[in-house]
Amino acid sequence: MQQAGASVSVSLPARRYGRLKRPQRRFAYLALAVPMVLLLVFYVVPALASLVLSVFNWNMLSAPKFAGLANFRSLFRDEIFKKAWGNTTYYMAVCTVAQTALGLAGGLVLTRRWLKAKGLFRVVFFVPVVLSMVSVGLIWLWMLDARVGLINIALKFLHLPPQPWLNSPRLAMPCMIVISIWKFTGYNIVLFIAGLQGIPDEYNDAAAVDGANTWQRFRHITLPLLRPTLLFVLITTAIGSFQVFDQIYVMTGTEGAPRFSTMVLGTYMYQHAFDGLRFGYACAFAILMFAFLLVLTVIQLRLVRTESLW
């Protein structure tokens, strides 16, 4: 019998972190191999091929001919390319700012405790995201039709003059931007909801007890803690907007009608590659777009991570 006061040592079994067993390792390698092969075949190889072909003239029917930097020099002398670049940058800037701001506002509203039927509102906002761009384009083509479009019918009912919408060089690109905002903002709302739900309520409650108002709590607590989500939303929205193609292709074609007002880099590149069989020239497009997005992403990373902004 142990004496009182004697120390008793209890030895617990050491926790062991053994390596995966051989069948488990094989399954893990197999699971990783499938997406890696797909990534290699459909992303890495085409990207490297585009880099190589950008210094060649190739129509896919004859052997490639080395052209050096001639394709890039031709791009900067191409007035339609400059127009397409301006349209794409304008589209990307407005869509990125609007979709991010509206996504954040929607996320803030849909996480409020006083709001009822949150699930219903989230579904309503997210429905456009899951619709295919072709179906969305066809629906909006009908709604924006100058003669029988639903929007012009509503304007006539309100005794307002109907608008040409997609037939107007002044209105065509703003229409494209509005459609993009309507379709993709719901995705950003879901991302911001996830980010907001990851912020502990205790932070805001403590700030409220200390006398901070709603704006001060958002400015000094919510916004800084949302930086990872905000960074992800900004980068993905900017990249997706700069690569716009299917929406423009469905609604106005590759000609950028009317009068090149909706010509973007994606449709102009498609026009040269598949209508004109100038694959080297089109690859030069892709390289410049990649370089621009790389620089833009680096700038966004630096800006969002700057402490002075918060």
DSSP 21: P
Q: Which CATH superfamily is domain 80-309 in?
A: MetI-like (1.10.3720.10)
Looking at the DSSP assignment, which residues form a beta bridge with residue 57?
65
Instruction: For residue 183, give the nearest of 244, 126, 240 by alpha carbon.
Output: 126
pLDDT in tens, 22-77: 788 888 888 889 899 999 999 999 999 999 999 999 998 899 999 999 999 999 99
pLDDT score recorded for residue 2 = 44
> What's at 118, amino acid-wise?
K
Domain boundaries, the chain: 80-309
The encoded tokens of residue 39 equal: 């990534």
Helical spans, DSSP H, in 40-165: 45-53, 70-77, 79-110, 118-130, 133-143, 150-157
Q: What is the mean pLDDT of residues 190-205?
A: 92
pLDDT in tens, 83-142: 999 999 999 999 999 999 999 999 999 998 888 888 888 899 999 999 999 999 999 999
